[in-house]
Amino acid sequence: MGNKRVIVGMSGGVDSSVSALLLKQQGYDVTGLFMKNWEEDDDSQLCSSKKDYDDVARVCDQIDIPYYSVNFAKEYKERVFNQFVEEYRQGYTPNPDVLCNREIKFNVFFKKAIEQMGADYLATGHYCQNNDALLQRGKDPSKDQTYFLYTIKAKELSKVIFPIGHLLKSQVREIALQHNLATSTKKDSTGICFIGKRDFKDFLSNYLPLTPGKFETANGQVIGQHDGIAYYTIGQRKGLKIGGAGQAWFVVGKDVERNVVIVEQGEDHPLLYHKYLTANEVSWINKEPTLPLRCSAKIRYRAADAPCVIESSAKGSLVVTFDEPQKAITPRQSVVFYDEETCLGGAMIDKPFNDIKELCLN
């Protein structure tokens, strides 16, 4: 393997650090490549890439590999951030991680590593496994990241290595500690990188003027005022600031045209659950399967797999029928499909339904 060159996408975290270390131990010719995606817009460095790059440099010096930095802030803003803001403008709750993997990590970053720098492989610290260009779940079920990678294609996957996908997070930490890596005790990053520790509402208000509106029940009863429709997502309970007697309130829908957030009481309210959904922007990792297909699906990252059947609609989108109604199916989130341990692909959720007749009309 000594003549096989691998470029490791290094973020300054423990996962990519251990990925680089393991590849070096396995005899690959390893280079670290740090990707800067966001230009700081203040002096607080709440989403600071400088410290992360310093950590990359320290780890690479420790394991004796060269390292470089590339700036994709322009591409990130054009391909990820602008769409992020536009989705919120339309009243949706976007998932920038999926978009970042599709547009940046396994597109421009991949091309930089393989086509421009001449690497044989690109490696990342994702918790997933690559089995002959089949994307499979990581060994650690609490860290599996296949949900975010469903847009990758087999052609690219054949040149990608996930060095820690067969490990538990605790094992990754232990390896880092054993080798005294500079990132061994560094906390995992959470949330959206370009927001960092800033208040989400304050951040979003800089890019998207939001108008307060009404909280209404499904039958039109006004029960309060919201801060702006973009701040709320289907299934949300916390932060609504709706008092009164009875069970907790949940967001069950949005009327963007009227700037209304629709809420109902109780986590088992029937408006929170749907048996069907339509989805578009379909992406299969390998060849498109024959439909109808029985498999399982996740409607959000932390959701458990749910048995379902995928079919084609008359309009070319997918229709997903779950065995049991699913809670808080959210438009413009991803539905990701699995055949046991293998991630087949996914799509963007369009609408949830409960009546098959309603499906036929759309």
Residue 102 near residue 79 (C-beta atoms within 8 A): no
Residue 253 near residue 262 (C-beta atoms within 8 A): yes
Q: Which residues pair with 284 in a beta bridge?
A: 345
**What positions carry a catalytic annotation?**
100, 193
Residue 143 near residue 103 (C-beta atoms within 8 A): no
Please tell me the total number of residues recorded for the chain in this structure.
362
Query: Can you point out the beta strands (E) in 107-154?
Result: 121-123, 128-130, 135-137
Long-range contacts, stretch 192-200, CB < 8 angstroms, 24+ apart: 192/96, 193/37, 193/38, 193/47, 194/37, 194/38, 194/47, 194/81, 195/46, 195/47, 196/46, 196/47, 196/48, 197/46, 198/46, 198/47, 200/231
How would you class 95 by CB atoms within 10 Å of its CB: exposed for 0-12, middle for 13-18, buried for 19 or more?
buried
**Token code pair at residue 121:** 């492989």
d(CA 49, CA 99): 20
d(CA 144, CA 348): 20
**DSSP label at residue 105:** I
Q: Give the SS3 label for residue 249.
A: strand
Residue 46 near residue 193 (C-beta atoms within 8 A): no
Query: Which helix (H) or strand (E) segment is 342 a member of?
Result: strand 342-353
- Sheet holding 29-36: strands in order across? 67-71, 29-36, 5-10, 121-123, 160-161
Residue 161 near residue 121 (C-beta atoms within 8 A): yes
